[in-house]
Amino acid sequence: MRLILNGILVLAVLFASYVEYAYFIVVPPKLGEVVPFSVRSQGSFTFDQDKALRGRRDIALSRYVPLYTYLPGIAEKVKTRMDDLIKEVSFLQKQKVSVGQKLVTYVYEEFGLKISLDEADKLLGYRNLTSLLNGILTFEETILQNIIVEDPEPYGGKNIIEVLYSEPKGIVAYPAEEVITLKQARFMLQDKVTQMFWQVHEEVLDPVTKISLSTLLPTLKYDQKENDRRIQEIVRRYPSKVINYRPGDVLVPFRKVLSEEDLLLIVSHGEFAKTNLYGNTPWILMVILLIVVFHDRLFLTIIDTERQKTLPFRPLLSLLIVSIFLFKSCLLFTPFPLYFVPFALLPLLVVLLNYGRITATWSTVIGAILLTLFSTRTFDILLFFTLGGLTAVLLCSNIQKRIHILLPSFVVGIINVGVLLAYSAKWESIAPLMGNWHEMWTFFQAMAFDKHLSDILGWAFVGGVLAGPMALLLLPILEMSWRAASNFKLTKYSDLQHPLLKDLFAKIPATYQHSMTMAFLAQAVGDAVGANTLLLRIGAYYHDIGKMADPMFFSENQSNGENPHDNLDPQESAQIIINHVKYGEQIARKVGLPEVIVDFIRQHHGTLIVEYFYNKAVAANPESKPRKKDFRYSGPKPQSLEAAILMIVDSVEATFRSLESITREKIEKMIILNIVKRIADGQFDECSLSTRNIAKIVETLTDSLEVASHSRVTYPWQEKNKR
């Protein structure tokens, strides 16, 4: 199973390292689609927008459709001017005196044209001038039905233009070939006038045509403001900056609809990642394998020895795998900076599940390395997460209530902000300012108002604070999955009003008293050697619940002097004694006690021999010596420091009750003898109980039992009874 979990761990880290790259190979990104996860930079990545977007920007500008505004009333305006000219000419022709100069003045003032006095006299002398002007007006009205613009440049090279009419017509698109310029319109008018009135003398027709051409006006106006806005929008859509992305920066956030720029950014980053793929993958795989092997060896050898405890590798490996998927999910399915990942969740869960702070420390280091491998592969991120995780380990030793988890979470958030500030500060700019407090204050104020910096600092703080509440949410699920028990869950079983303890007290009060005494002694020893006192106390409460099956077969419950073992074979008696462990395990599992308490029930006698009945069997059968294995408990041997302490305290408490004329020397000798016998029998081989701990255990138990056996003052009524 350990090999399978290690394999899953390797695959999980590899998956987390390359899932985005693999996804875009299988499902290439497309314009207008929603990106299913946040795309982050896998390294220091430079995106040259101009290089990537120039071609698309040029295409977009070439396809840009210019907008014109329709000018209503132009035809009416032209007609009015021509009608006014006709009226003026008719009036002047009726005058008896020479009025050529008046026509010269009128044409200059109304049309801005200069004609000679001779031309004016000839015009006024032409009898059909009014008919000529009316004919030209008809041509003008026909021409003005076209789309006429003054400047051809804005729509040059375009296939289409847009014309904005008043509501409800709105914007209408026209082929560019239907558009004529004012110059072309005037050529058309001149051509028609020449063809239609060829018989009119040039001295009359030329000035009339000249005046008529000046009345023609464009019917469309180029909307300079709106067109500039549209062009700027295209330029903004295809910017030309060079952007430097740091490892872990968000390129495209989760659930964003892909624009052209986003699409090119993803493609460019994919090409960048591909260049490093074949070079990076082998060493990343090698590092992952080395870390996993180191993790396996570390927890099976070094930490087992240091903590006097065989660690449950399945939950620890499973927790590491779950954490990797959880952290990767934060990176994939949130648009927030990398610093938002609540990494302190991992060490908090290790400590809360009672796997110890040394285990949590190494889990923090290994977890930070693996997280760095599939996120940025940079030292500063490794240090950022490691320091935050170690802060959580240092501050979570005294968590007894759920509310207490807020303190380490809050401090982790502050440490995250401090580390990030240390990374982000431009120390090369600060150094020259040393001593100049005004300039330094100005510099730090500028940093404080830097929006990008304040954003990532805020998310780094949130990531630290979220670790605690998230740990509380996951804790019940992990406890159910692995039959583990946190301090929060164990506290429920420390209540002496628990139904099982009440049942124990009601059925076998002597065993109950033995368990309470053991709890007192075990807690004192736990305080002395740094063991988990809550576990020890609860383990002592429940370790003998199996005796409720056959209470009268145990000496502390035989108050009437009768011993049912007197009528039984020694091996049968031994089996009854041994079975109290099996019955205790059955009861514990039936009522749903946590696995750690079940372990205390199974391990508190280890594989010891039921010595009294074994010796009795040997005495009864001197010739055929009975087998020791028939008189041994099924075990296992103590797997933790706490289980070893419970075994020692159990035997010492039972032996202590049989001592006569109690002295400190006798107590100490008895304790040492009990411990030595178990060491000689190999009972502590699987938890590596240290000699330093043994010395403290002996001293603490001696002190506690001496105090418990200290005699009190004799009262007068007791003296009278003695006489």
Residues 183, 213 contacting (CB under 8 angstroms):
no
Query: How far is Cα 518 from Cα 355, in angstroms, rounded to an integer?
Result: 23
Global pTM value: 0.68
Give the per-residue pLDDT at 434: 60
| 490-721: CATH number | 1.10.3210
* pLDDT computed for residue 428 by the predictor: 52
Tell me, letter by letter, the H, E, C secondary structure of 640-699.
Answer: CHHHHHHHHHHHHHHHHCCCCCCCHHHHHHHHHHHHHHHHHCCCCCCCCCCHHHHHHHHH
Q: Let me know: does 564 contact 552? Beta carbons within 8 Å.
A: yes
Q: What is the CA radius of gyration of the chain?
A: 48
CA dihedral 162, 166, 170, 174 (to 10 degrees): -30
Q: Is the pLDDT of residue 449 over 80?
A: no
Q: Which residue has the tokens 């073992």?
A: 565
Query: Across the chain, how many H-helices and E-strands are there?
Result: 30, 10
- Pair 385, 368: CB distance under 8 Å: yes
Q: How far apart are CA 521 and CA 657, in angstroms?
A: 14
Give the whole-angstrom CA distance, residue 542 versus residue 595.
12
For residue 486, is pLDDT > 90? Answer: no
Q: Is the pLDDT of residue 8 over 80?
A: yes
The domains of the chain are located at 2-44+256-482, 67-220, 490-721
Alpha-carbon distance of 505 to 552, in angstroms, equals 14
Average of per-residue pLDDT values in the chain = 85
Q: What is the mean pLDDT of residues 551-565?
A: 74
| pLDDT (tens digit per residue) in 125-150 | 888 888 888 998 899 889 999 989 98
Where does the pLDDT of residue 538 fall: very low under 50, low under 70, confident under 90, or very high at 90 and above?
Answer: very high
Sequence length of the chain is 723
- CA torsion sign for 377, 382, 384, 389 is positive
b/e map 560-596, b = 16+ CB within 10 Å: eeeeebeeeebbebbbbbbbbbbbbbbbbeeeebbeb
Angstrom distance (rounded) from CA 723 to CA 718:
9
Provide the 3-class DSSP secondary structure of residue 208. Answer: helix
DSSP, collapsed to helix, strand or coil, labels residue 60 as: helix
pLDDT of residue 611: 87
Phi, psi of 112 (to 5 degrees): 70, 20
C-alpha triplet 186, 189, 193: angle, nearest 5°:
140
* Band of pLDDT at residue 307, cut at 50, 70 and 90: very low
